Structure 1
Amino acid sequence: MPLVNEKIVPWPAVKPYDKQAVPVPGTKRPGQTAHYRNGIWGLIDVNTPNSLTTLDQIFDVGMKSGKDRQFLGYRAVVSTNPLKYAPTFTWYTYGDIDLRRRYIGSALHSLFQKGELGGGEFQSVGIWAPNCPEWQTIDIALQSYQKVAVSLYDTLGKDSVEYIIAHAHLTVVFATSEHIPTILKLAHKVPMLKSVVCINPLSSDAARLLRDWSSTVGLVFRELSELEAYGKANLIEPIPAYPDLVASICYTSGTTNNPKGVVLKHKNLALATQSNMYGLELPENASLLSYLPLAHIYERICELCTIAVGGRIGYFTGDPLRLLEDAQILKPNFFPSVPRVLNRVYQAAMAGGNVPGIKGKLFNRAIQVKLERLNTTGEVTHALWDRLVFRKIQAVLGGQIQLVTSGSAPISPKVMDFLKIAFACEVAEGYGLTENCATCSKAWPNDPTASGTVGPPQPINEVKLIDVPAMGYTSADKPNPRGELCVRGTNCFSTYYKDEKNTKETVDMDGWIHTGDVAEIDSCGRIKIVDRVKNIMKLAQGEYVALEKIENLYSSTPIVAQIYVHGDSLQSFLVAVLVPDPVQLAGIAGSLTGTQVSPENTPALAAVCKDERVVSHILSILTKVGDQSGLKGFERIKRLHLSMNAFSVDNNTLTPTMKIRRKDAYNMYKKELDALYALGEPSSKL
């Protein structure tokens, strides 16, 4: 018989789509809306019966599904030259991980007790690695032995690593061998660091080299297998957590200054997980494909939910080009994702379907029929068209997808509607921050008009809007109130570590987090993010422009791989740097110049980017998108620079979560952007 998970709370037989959130009577105040709570479940907290309140409880619930069930999986390397991975996943069971968390946790506890580690405010432990079974195993060990996890993004530069090690007083860091040399070079700048543990297997020569190097800079080097053996010899039982115990300091990837350390307690993370179990529909033995950074709170919550249902987590190879191959082997049921990946899926599907002849006609007819059904009934399946047309798109992710989530940035309603009908399953956009454990709101399944919103507040939250008069947003706006979104609940943090100034700016006296996002709450109680309080600028004629909103709007256009929109307060129009999609650019270049260019020939594509015909044509595509999206004249891009030099973490123009560092992006292209402004605003409508 299928397992009945005690933590999952099922949907009622009929969902009140017209009352997805309800105002709390008596909470309306001047300059702000009432407080809104979930229209079905109200507000849950640590006292709600049968709720998860600590992270070690989550692993215990997963273990109840059976210690012999598959848990954490990976594709083994079968050849290094050429690099080749096994065509199947190798699995650790829940029982395997139970033993390993005890060994790792016991070892760490012993070393802290003996004074070989520690000395700071918390018994904090760093993890600097890509997603892999060891990352999750170490984190579970820390949860089970009252240690504080500090995750470092796998793509962090040495300056941020140095800052976090010092700021969080890390005396031990678990890292992969590729990161250990960076740590050893930093050792003289972070005297609190005492030990480094290599989590991946090493040759005896490599281990000896790193051990000797560590010794010369005053650090103790261990391989993970050594640490586990030490823990096995000094085994103690897990130490139960309690709700107010600090579980993690999660550093946000700042777009300007040093990252901020969000202090998260067990109750914050556990009840965020519990909140996501309300209405969660995943099969027995559900599997998740893990490729979003585990250092990011969104992926961690998704994996905690998978553990809480006794599911499996398959880790991708680490190579984005192999992601679809990983998916087709794992056949995941749950695919947490982000717009930059989902936009690519959409573009590829549309390019493959919009072809001449009967195939193209069938594709477009299938879209028309299914969209009409979605928009009238909320139904996302269709017996005929799913079999004839959409089965191939579903097969791209393995053919067994039941839940796709989109978070971290806005995604266009058109793309969301297409993904719903193409995958024929629940595709939900949600909203959250590190500060509320990536849990604030989420769209409901089978809601015909959910796309473009991020749904109602989660059961763990209540939300309200406060006026932003400088931008013209008020709680009295018609037809719906608008203002800065504030959120409160047991999942919400209360302090940035050692940072009173930012804490006071973000959390008010009543515990409300001021998100910095401008939202609207519609008549159904759904939240729609419409603007950003901080990332706005004023053009010369006094008009406010939300640059991120415009970038997100253009990002679903097939020609756009990346786009940076720039405004100058002394100018009356916007300009942009666009990194084109190589395949799309090659096609445009061929049709305009008559010369065939290969998408792989980057130098040739770079030359094409300088062709005024190509620039003009791509700008006309963006103008049409602006027309269709209802952008105002001053929100349109009037001049454009094309470049094959992408924004990246390596050149410091992207954060580890792929948000543009605006100042650094501008500095990278200052000469080109200034030159666009020097041309003046085009007199005719482009």
Structure 2
Amino acid sequence: MAPVTSIPYPSTLDYKNQGVPVPGTERPGQTPHYRNGVWGYISVDTPGALKTLYEIFENGYAHNPNARLLGHRPKLSDSPLKFGPYVWQTYKEVDVRRRRLGSALHHLFQKGDLKAHDLPTVGIWAQNRPEWQIVELALHAYDKVGVSLYDTLGKDSVEYIINHAQLSIVFTTPDHIPALLKSAPKCPTMKAIVSLDALNPQARTAFNAWGESFGIKIYELSELEALGQANLIDPIIPTPETIASICYTSGTTSNPKGVVLTHGNLALSAYSNLFGLEYPPSSCLFSYLPLAHIYERVMELATIATGGCVGYFTGDPLRLLEDVQELKPQFFPSVPRVLNRIYQSAMAAGQLPGIKGALFRAAVKAKMDNFKATGATTHTFWDAVVFRKVRAVLGGNLMLVSTGSAPISAEVMDFLKIALGCEVVEGYGMTENCGTCTHTVKDDRSASGSIGPPQPVNELKLVDVPSMNYTSKDKPNARGELCVRGANCFSVYYKDEKNTSETVHDGWIHTGDVAEVDAHGRFRIVDRVKNIMKLAQGEYVALEKVENLYSACPLVSQIYVHGDSLQSYLTAVVVPEPSTFAPLVASTTGDPSITPENTAALTKALRDPRVVAETLRVLTREAKKNKLTGFETVKRLHLSLSPFSVEDNTLTPTFKLRRKDAYAKFKTELDALYALGEPASSGSKL
């Protein structure tokens, strides 16, 4: 049988029926169920569907065993730091390595050196690299459960996950081994650590001695492969119901939640992404988004399923441009924060004086007008003269750019489509549905600003949120909490009945996002059911938690913390406490006559940049004291002596902040703070 390939869109698309209601499914307090208007609804019973992760790899292998699969840039020197061109491992070579690693793990579990307390869980803690994917492929083929760890969770969360998932073995890089060994007294289930890189003799001796004191064996990856070769067995074929992964999501006010995902969940998610995927076998994906997160993982699975290849970045965000230009990929999964920087850098060309600026502005206008009229994203003249340079920034061969994890503005999306001259899609998903829920449709001229129709594997509905005045009867578009179900959707958080019961009702995931659905069956996120929002880089922030911590600062009388999902940082309105604010103003301005009673002087000081900067410095110190992360820390603020009150409707009668009204009161000032642009910080050049 020929391997499954990507499924192109039909030659004509009905853009008016991208998502269609299922007859007879409307109920009081909710919309009908919506399905994909092009492909209908797929499930584990769909003929030809890829139903397990084992089948995903086998299908990719069947396209061409000798094709490139996993690539990386080897380091040539440390001083100066220099990397070579991409080096590749083929499907056949990766197949040999996954069988060896899988056999070794099975042998160690069978021997009792590793113990499956509840499930045969295996941890991976590393940046994206070929070995991350090889280990994961071994787990898929040998009935083991992958658990990813990542730095942004923090030390306490890493220890929590090791214990909660009862990990007995963790694959990692040498830099993480000391942290794991320090945690060993608190992680009694951990019995083995595998270094993905060779260790120098001195480090190996030290790690061995350290590990022995806690009963932990240290391996190098090559040793495990040799062990597997000596104890080689055939793969253990999974079923769609076999558990493949526990993927932990970062908690905002509590411990991370472990999303239990089966082979069927992940495989059907990857298979669903093949519908409308129009790049040929051997196409290349550039991997820099964390493999520990579901979005990148499913994009790589879809690429593997089609016989494509994955090129990994060097691990240094400052080398992203160098890496992608070396790789010249066809597929660039990304996030708004990176794409916004590409947009800002490109648009700076329009501000250049003289003929260069004028030429760029003319090119943008001509292509944008043509796109709005016809949906075409290419133009022979303007692409050759102007946009060839923009395309070259990302290697020059792109066929598809996808964005997810947070909203992106319609303006940026439309510009990227004409500047890159390729398909640019926005999608929506969450760990609980394997990052797969909706995405926009090819060449839809009015799609920007929406998240598109349901994926083929999903059904969606909106449920009324009366407390927020969102209902299925709203005009012109129905609104409500977005709920999703399908073969890609999880059913349980690991050992967490409370959160499971709050999230899954009657087989539907309640996402916590408020959406609307338009006449074409496209969805758009408009709000959150709770005061938890996502920043542009995909990080969740519990705004009330942040406000409560800042409120402990003596300088703060009241605070409203504001986040915009199109931005990567928080802003705030602070009503200072006069008794502590006056001394700060006096010392900052050098005017000792300022007192708490001198309202006129304090009001004038609110507009003094020195005073604002000093207030922000004090608040930042408070944030550090309370161990807020960087993305939870306010980066810009507006000072005001006009308090939030019951009288102006910004406080409830019980003195809780009315967030919408608080924002409306200071909308002009908060929008102006974001108009200043992202605060200067080190990081990616993108």
Band the TM-score falls in, shorter-chain normalisation: 0.7 to 0.9
- Going from structure 1 to structure 2, the CA distance change for 1:256 and 1:332 (only over 3 Å counts) comes to same
How far apart in 2 are the matches of 1:568 and 1:47? 56
Q: Report the residue type matching 1:91 in the other structure.
A: W
CA displacement 1:422-447 (0-9 Å, x = unmatched) = 10100000000000000000001100
2:510 alignment partner, SS class: strand
Could you tell me which residue of structure 1 aligns to residue 498 of structure 2?
Answer: 501
The Cα of 1:615 is off from its aligned counterpart by: 8.8
* Greater displacement, 93-102 / 154-163: 154-163
CA displacement 1:615-654 (0-9 Å, x = unmatched) = 99x99xxxxxxxxxxxxxxxxxxx9959998999999644
- Going from structure 1 to structure 2, the CA distance change for 1:443 and 1:89 (only over 3 Å counts) comes to same
Tell me, yes or no, if the aligned pair for 1:101 and 1:141 is still in contact at 8 Å.
yes
Q: Report the residue type matching 2:98 in the other structure.
A: R
- Going from structure 1 to structure 2, the CA distance change for 1:461 and 1:643 (only over 3 Å counts) comes to farther
Structure 2 residue 514 is the aligned partner of structure 1 residue 518: yes
How far apart in 1 are the matches of 2:450 and 2:560? 18
How far apart in 2 are the matches of 1:135 and 1:647? 38
Match of 2:363 among 366, 369, 393: 366
- Going from structure 1 to structure 2, the CA distance change for 1:651 and 1:449 (only over 3 Å counts) comes to farther
Q: Report the residue type matching 2:55 in the other structure.
A: Q
Q: Report the residue type matching 1:676 in the other structure.
A: L
Structure 2 residue 406 is the aligned partner of structure 1 residue 409: yes
Structure 2 residue 460 is the aligned partner of structure 1 residue 463: yes
- Going from structure 1 to structure 2, the CA distance change for 1:162 and 1:458 (only over 3 Å counts) comes to same
Could you tell me which residue of structure 1 aligns to residue 42 of structure 2?
Answer: 44
How far apart in 2 are the matches of 1:649 and 1:229? 47
How far apart in 2 are the matches of 1:199 and 1:117? 18
Could you tell me which residue of structure 1 aligns to residue 221 of structure 2?
Answer: 224
How far apart in 2 are the matches of 1:172 and 1:531? 41
1:552 alignment partner, SS class: coil
How far apart in 2 are the matches of 1:189 and 1:464? 44
1:534 alignment partner, SS class: coil
* Greater displacement, 373-382 / 479-488: 373-382
Tell me, yes or no, if the aligned pair for 1:531 and 1:546 is still in contact at 8 Å.
no
CA displacement 1:346-368 (0-9 Å, x = unmatched) = 11111133211111111111111
The Cα of 1:95 is off from its aligned counterpart by: 1.0
Could you tell me which residue of structure 2 aligns to residue 563 of structure 1?
Answer: 569
Structure 2 residue 82 is the aligned partner of structure 1 residue 84: yes
1:190-229 matches, within 5 Å, as 190-229=187-226
- Going from structure 1 to structure 2, the CA distance change for 1:648 and 1:18 (only over 3 Å counts) comes to farther
Task: Mark the runs of 5 or more structure 2 residues left unpaired by the alignment.
Answer: 533-542, 548-558, 578-604, 645-664, 670-686
- Going from structure 1 to structure 2, the CA distance change for 1:394 and 1:649 (only over 3 Å counts) comes to farther
Match of 1:297 among 271, 281, 294: 294
The Cα of 1:256 is off from its aligned counterpart by: 2.0
Structure 2 residue 639 is the aligned partner of structure 1 residue 676: yes
Could you tell me which residue of structure 1 aligns to residue 531 of structure 2?
Answer: 535
Tell me, yes or no, if the aligned pair for 1:535 and 1:547 is still in contact at 8 Å.
no
Structure 2 residue 182 is the aligned partner of structure 1 residue 185: yes
- Going from structure 1 to structure 2, the CA distance change for 1:570 and 1:525 (only over 3 Å counts) comes to farther
Tell me, yes or no, if the aligned pair for 1:243 and 1:267 is still in contact at 8 Å.
yes
How far apart in 2 are the matches of 1:646 and 1:323? 32
Q: CA RMSD in A?
A: 3.1
1:178 alignment partner, SS class: helix
How far apart in 2 are the matches of 1:79 and 1:645? 39
The Cα of 1:119 is off from its aligned counterpart by: 3.5
Tell me, yes or no, if the aligned pair for 2:349 and 2:360 is still in contact at 8 Å.
no
Structure 2 residue 132 is the aligned partner of structure 1 residue 135: yes
Structure 2 residue 26 is the aligned partner of structure 1 residue 28: yes
- Going from structure 1 to structure 2, the CA distance change for 1:382 and 1:487 (only over 3 Å counts) comes to same
The Cα of 1:399 is off from its aligned counterpart by: 0.2
Q: Report the residue type matching 2:206 in the other structure.
A: L
- Going from structure 1 to structure 2, the CA distance change for 1:426 and 1:218 (only over 3 Å counts) comes to same
CA displacement 1:37-81 (0-9 Å, x = unmatched) = 000111100000000000010110111122221111111111112
Match of 1:319 among 311, 316, 319: 316
Could you tell me which residue of structure 2 aligns to residue 542 of structure 1?
Answer: none
2:203 alignment partner, SS class: helix
1:121 alignment partner, SS class: coil
CA displacement 1:214-235 (0-9 Å, x = unmatched) = 1122201111111110000000
Could you tell me which residue of structure 1 aligns to residue 339 of structure 2?
Answer: 342
How far apart in 2 are the matches of 1:184 and 1:38? 49
Give TM-score, length-normalised by structure 2: 0.82
CA displacement 1:224-280 (0-9 Å, x = unmatched) = 111110000000011111000000000001122110000000000000000000010
Tell me, yes or no, if the aligned pair for 2:606 and 2:640 is still in contact at 8 Å.
no
How far apart in 1 are the matches of 2:626 and 2:303? 35
Tell me, yes or no, if the aligned pair for 2:575 and 2:643 is still in contact at 8 Å.
no
How far apart in 2 are the matches of 1:650 and 1:83? 36
* Greater displacement, 156-165 / 121-130: 156-165
- Going from structure 1 to structure 2, the CA distance change for 1:640 and 1:389 (only over 3 Å counts) comes to farther
Q: Report the residue type matching 1:551 in the other structure.
A: D
Q: Report the residue type matching 2:166 in the other structure.
A: H
Q: Report the residue type matching 2:120 in the other structure.
A: Q
Could you tell me which residue of structure 1 aligns to residue 67 of structure 2?
Answer: 69
The Cα of 1:547 is off from its aligned counterpart by: 7.2
1:351-362 matches, within 5 Å, as 351-362=348-359
- Going from structure 1 to structure 2, the CA distance change for 1:64 and 1:200 (only over 3 Å counts) comes to same
The Cα of 1:381 is off from its aligned counterpart by: 0.9
Could you tell me which residue of structure 2 aligns to residue 101 of structure 1?
Answer: 98
Match of 1:157 among 154, 157, 175: 154
* Greater displacement, 377-386 / 241-250: 377-386
* Number of residue pairs matched by the alignment: 599
Tell me, yes or no, if the aligned pair for 1:103 and 1:230 is still in contact at 8 Å.
yes
Give TM-score, length-normalised by structure 1: 0.82
How far apart in 2 are the matches of 1:113 and 1:414? 56
CA displacement 1:389-423 (0-9 Å, x = unmatched) = 11100000000011000000000110111111110
How far apart in 1 are the matches of 2:202 and 2:124? 24
How far apart in 1 are the matches of 2:301 and 2:667? 54
How far apart in 2 are the matches of 1:353 and 1:313? 34
Q: Structure 1 vs Structure 2: percent identity of aligned residues?
A: 55
How far apart in 1 are the matches of 2:374 and 2:264? 38
Tell me, yes or no, if the aligned pair for 2:575 and 2:642 is still in contact at 8 Å.
no
1:151 alignment partner, SS class: strand
- Going from structure 1 to structure 2, the CA distance change for 1:498 and 1:183 (only over 3 Å counts) comes to same
